[in-house]
Structure 1
C-alpha cells in the first residue's frame, strides 16, 4: 500500500486519532508524501478522518485530504465542526471546492455556501454555473496576475506575495485595466530579465488561450498539442477568467479513457466495482436488451439459410469461424478510429479516406486469413468448393468489418454522441450478419457443387 503502512500503519494512525496526539501524528506524517498518507487515511471511517483533520488543523491536513477519494471527502464533511469546516473549505482551491460542492445535496450545499465569505461564495457560485464539460467547470481562479507597466523587480515581489495562495506561478498572466489578457510571462523570463525592465517588454504577446465555454476534451487536446503546464481561459471579450492546470487535464483524460473503455464494453460509467448488486443489474440490463435484439437479427439470418445447412451440415461447424474473425477485425478498426477521434488525430470532414483505408486493410487481412482457412478446410474436408467459399466469405466479412469499424464511431461523433457508445454491439452485429450472409449465401449459391463428389 505504500510507505505509510510500513512507517505508521492503519492501526497506528487510528490510535493517534483516538489519543489526539498531534506531535506524534505530525512526526509520523513528516517524511510521507500526502498521497501515501491519504491512501491509509481513506481506510478509516469518515468520523475518524474528521477527527484527524481536527487534530492536525485544516491547513495542515488539507494537502492530505485532497488526495482522499471524492466520496469519502463528502462523507467526512458531515462530521466536521462548523469552525473546522469553514477553514477547510476556505483553504481549498476554487476548482476543487466547486467540484465537491457540486455533488452535494441542496441542503448540504446551502450549508457550505453560508459558511463562505461573500467573495468566495460568489466565486463558487459562478464556477457552478458553467456547463459540466466546459473549460469553465474545470478552471481555477487562483492564478498569478501582473500588469504590463510593472517593473520586473516589483513583479517578482508581487509573485512572492501571490505564491502562497496561487496554484502555480510558473506562468504569470498579464492583463490590462479591463482584465483583458494581453500577454504571458514565465518565472524564468522574470528571473533572467533586468530588474528595471517592464513586464510588457519581456512578455509573450502571442498568447494561446481557450474560451470558457470550450468542451474540456478540446481543451485537453490543445494542452497536449502545445505541451502547456497551464492554459488560460478567457470569456467572449478576451477577459481572463481562470486557468486550467495540467493535473486537471490529466484527470479529464483518465475519465475519458475510462468512459471509452466502459462504452466499448457497453457499461454505464456510473457503475463501480463497489456498486450494490441491484444497481449493477439495473445499469447493465438495458445494453443487454439491445444486445439481445441484435442477437435475434443474427439468429434470424442463420435461420434463413437453415435449408442449406441441413443439406451440408459441415457449414455449421465452420460458420462461427467466419463470424468470429470478422468480429475481431471489426473491433480492431473500431479501436483505432475511436482512439483517433478521442485524440483529435482525424477530423469529421474528409474522413472517407479513413473508411476506405480500413476497408482496404480488411480486404488484405481477409484474403490472408481466408487463404489459410481455405487450405485448412480443404485438408479437413477434401472439398475445393468449400475451401473457395470460406476464403471468399472471410475476405468479404473482413471488408465489412473494416467499413463498419470505421463508419460506426464516425457516425456517432457526427450525431454528437460519444464514438465509443455502443459501437461494439453495432460492429459485432454487422460482422456476424455479414459473415453469415456471405458464407451461407455463397454456400446456397453453389450448393450443388458442394454436394457433388
Structure 2
C-alpha cells in the first residue's frame, strides 16, 4: 500500500511541477490520465491560485466533468466566486437536475447555512427490511453526501421515524424498519 501511495505522490508532484512551470501540454497529459476521482482529489490539494491555472489548462467540458464527482457544496463554492457569465458556462455543461440543484444553492449568500447545507438524504418506508435499507444506502449514499440517519417516511411522505446506520448493522437483515426505528 505504501508503494502505491509513493507512486501516486510522485505522479501528483509531476502534475504540480507542470502547473508551476506553466507547462499546459505536460499538465494535460498527466492530469487527464488520472481517474476522475483522483482529478478531484488533486484539484482540492491545490492552492486557490493554482486551481485557477487548472481551469485555464482544461477545456470547459473537461473541467465540468469534475463537477459530476465533486460534492455539490464544493461545486457551489467554486461557482460562487465566479462572475455570472463564467458560472453560466459551467452550469450549461451540467445536466438539468444537477444544474437545478446547484442554482438553488447558489441563490444563498456564500458561507451562509443555506449555501453549505446538505439537501440530499435517504428515506425508506417502515415496511422495508434492514437489508433493503442497507441496499438503499449503498445505492444513494453518494448523492446524500453524509449519511448518519435514514429517514422513515409514510406513504404520504411524512416523517414517521429515523434509523441510524448503527441500527442497520446491529439488527438482522430481515428485521422490519418499523421495529427498530426511533419515532
Structure whose residues are more often helix by fraction: 1
Contact 1:95 1:141 in 2 (8 A): no
Q: Deviation at 1:93?
A: 0.8
Q: Distance in 2 between matches of 1:49 and 1:141?
A: 35
Q: Distance in 1 between matches of 2:133 and 2:107?
A: 33
1:137 to 115, 119, 122: 115
Q: Could you say what secondary structure the match of 1:104 adopts? A: coil
Q: Deviation at 1:126?
A: 0.3
Q: Distance in 2 between matches of 1:142 and 1:178?
A: 19
Q: How does 1:329-408 map to 2 (within 5 A)?
A: none
- Which stretch of structure 1 is more off in the superposition, 59-68 or 102-111? 59-68
Contact 1:144 1:168 in 2 (8 A): no
| Structure-2 change in CA distance of 1:185 and 1:64 (3 Å) | farther
Aligned to 1:357: none
Contact 2:151 2:161 in 1 (8 A): yes
Structure of greater relative contact order (alpha carbons < 8 Å, 6+ residues apart)? 2
Aligned to 1:160: 138
The CA deviation string for residues 362-404 of structure 1, in whole angstroms up to 9 with x for no partner, is xxxxxxxxxxxxxxxxxxxxxxxxxxxxxxxxxxxxxxxxxxx
1:111 to 72, 86, 89: 89
1:124 aligns with 2:99: no
Q: Deviation at 1:102?
A: 0.7
TM-score, normalisation: structure 1: 0.34
1:73 aligns with 2:51: yes
Contact 1:74 1:104 in 2 (8 A): no
Q: Which runs of 5+ in 2 are unaligned?
A: none
Aligned to 1:41: 16
- TM-align CA RMSD: 3.1
Aligned to 1:194: 172
Q: How does 1:24-423 map to 2 (within 5 A)?
A: 28-29=7-8, 41=16, 44-45=19-20, 47=24, 51-177=29-155, 179-205=157-183
- Which stretch of structure 1 is more off in the superposition, 171-180 or 41-50? 41-50
The CA deviation string for residues 104-155 of structure 1, in whole angstroms up to 9 with x for no partner, is 1122101000100000000000011123343221113344333333211211
| Structure-2 change in CA distance of 1:175 and 1:104 (3 Å) | farther
Q: Distance in 1 between matches of 2:112 and 2:17?
A: 30
Q: Could you say what secondary structure the match of 1:66 adopts? A: helix
- Which structure: larger Rg? 1
Q: Distance in 2 between matches of 1:103 and 1:178?
A: 40
Q: Could you say what secondary structure the match of 2:151 adopts? A: strand
Q: Deviation at 1:163?
A: 3.4
Contact 1:147 1:176 in 2 (8 A): yes
Contact 2:129 2:175 in 1 (8 A): yes
Q: Could you say what secondary structure the match of 2:65 adopts? A: helix
How many pairs does the alignment contain?
175
| Structure-2 change in CA distance of 1:171 and 1:134 (3 Å) | same
Q: Distance in 2 between matches of 1:121 and 1:177?
A: 29
TM-score, normalisation: structure 2: 0.76
Q: Distance in 1 between matches of 2:121 and 2:41?
A: 18
Q: Could you say what secondary structure the match of 1:173 adopts? A: strand
| Structure-2 change in CA distance of 1:133 and 1:101 (3 Å) | closer
